[in-house]
């Protein structure tokens, strides 16, 4: 990756993900599976990946809080966390997670920071191929991989890039971007994928079409479009600076000031303020490392707060603890 693309990835592209939907050829789809079927696909998937040092986590063995933390870390989906019969396999570095028993038998996904779609695809593909060496997936010569939802048939691949579009949001231009990418067969979703809302000016750009295009074609389209959107975001930031640098700096630094002084902070307010502080850091108004803000975003989510506290917290306790963690991190 060129130095320019690395900079783009650091400032605007927060992360990328490649997810492959797969189903065993000889097992009914999840909506018609029995408990014995659920147990069998977990066992077979573990056996196929036993050389990869994957760690198995069964939802039935995890508390509500532990499941919530994994959702916040984007290791599993909210849908998987709600199923006691489901499980997940985690690679040693936790960049690859294989969800077992969600909408499809398997959802093989790799998540990496920045704009590393090719590497994310390579990691997901290695796990996929390892399973396919000993197991047979539902596949049709004409339709490709068969999935529970017809919109995933074909490659079975959903690739996405998480973009911080604070400048476009301030100029009320995110709607234009969403309409433009939809014409290319792409879609824009929220922080936790389909059905979720955008939070903290974070938008998930992903492919909508899985049939009739190869994995390589989908990844190239997504990567090229992501770079175009990143270019639009850079232009929006320049426009904001030209329209009123002092006013922009005042708006962003007010959020930084509240971060360093507030005694209570809700999740919703945190994400809004975080977007402003990210932008302030990107524009050089304040010296805060991106890694610090990434860690904050992870550590102050509700389930993670309760896990680290070692007990269930009321909303007020969470808001107070969240504000304390933010103050310590930034001072």
pLDDT digits (tens, 9 = 90+) for 59-69: 999 999 999 99
Spatial separation of the C-alpha atoms in residues 125 and 129, rounded to whole Å: 6
Spatial separation of the C-alpha atoms in residues 284 and 118, rounded to whole Å: 30
Spatial separation of the C-alpha atoms in residues 246 and 288, rounded to whole Å: 20
Spatial separation of the C-alpha atoms in residues 200 and 70, rounded to whole Å: 20
Token pair for residue 296? 């904050």
Q: Quote the pLDDT of residue 210.
A: 85
Which run of H or of E encompasses 112? strand 106-113
Q: Quote the pLDDT of residue 151.
A: 86
Handedness of CA 31, 33, 34, 38 (dihedral sign): negative
Q: What is the dihedral of CA 317, 323, 328, 331, to 10 degrees?
A: -160
Is 80 exceeded by the pLDDT of residue 192? no
pLDDT digits (tens, 9 = 90+) for 153-187: 999 999 999 999 999 999 999 999 999 999 998 99
Q: How confident is the model at residue 11 (pLDDT cuts 50, 70, 90)?
A: confident
Counting residues of the chain whose pLDDT is more than 90, the rounded percentage is 87
Q: Quote the pLDDT of residue 4.
A: 44
pLDDT digits (tens, 9 = 90+) for 113-146: 999 999 999 999 999 999 999 999 999 999 999 9
């Amino acid at each position: 990756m060129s130095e320019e693309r690395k900079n783009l990835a650091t400032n605007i592209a927060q992360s990328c993900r490649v997810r492959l939907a797969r189903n065993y050829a000889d097992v009914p789809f999840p909506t018609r599976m029995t408990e014995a079927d659920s147990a069998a696909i977990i066992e077979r998937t573990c056996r196929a990946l036993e050389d990869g040092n994957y760690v198995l986590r069964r939802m039935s063995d995890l508390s509500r809080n532990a499941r919530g933390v994994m959702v916040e870390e984007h290791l599993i989906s909210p849908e998987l966390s709600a199923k006691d019969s489901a499980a997940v396999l985690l690679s040693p570095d936790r960049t690859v997670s294989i969800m077992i028993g969600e909408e499809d038998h398997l959802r093989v996904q790799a998540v990496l920071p920045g704009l590393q779609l090719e590497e994310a695809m390579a990691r997901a593909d290695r796990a996929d191929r390892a399973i396919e060496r000993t197991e047979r997936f539902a596949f049709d010569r004409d339709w490709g991989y068969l999935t529970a939802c017809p919109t995933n048939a074909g490659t079975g691949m959903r690739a996405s890039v998480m973009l911080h579009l604070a400048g476009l949001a301030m100029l009320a231009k995110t709607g234009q971007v969403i309409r433009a990418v939809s014409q290319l067969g792409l879609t824009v979703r929220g922080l936790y994928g389909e059905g979720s809302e955008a939070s903290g000016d974070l938008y998930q750009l992903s492919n909508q079409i899985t049939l009739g295009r190869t994995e390589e074609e989908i990844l190239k389209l997504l990567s090229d479009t992501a770079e175009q959107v990143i270019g639009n975001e850079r232009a929006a930031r320049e426009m904001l600076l030209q329209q009123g640098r002092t006013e922009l700096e005042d708006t962003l630094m007010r959020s930084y000031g509240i971060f360093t002084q507030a005694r209570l902070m809700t999740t919703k307010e945190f994400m809004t303020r975080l977007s402003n502080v990210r932008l302030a850091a990107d524009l050089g108004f304040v010296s805060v490392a991106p890694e610090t803000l990434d860690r904050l975003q992870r550590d102050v989510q509700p389930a993670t707060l309760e896990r680290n506290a070692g007990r269930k917290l009321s909303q007020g306790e969470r808001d107070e603890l969240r504000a304390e963690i933010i103050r310590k991190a930034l001072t």
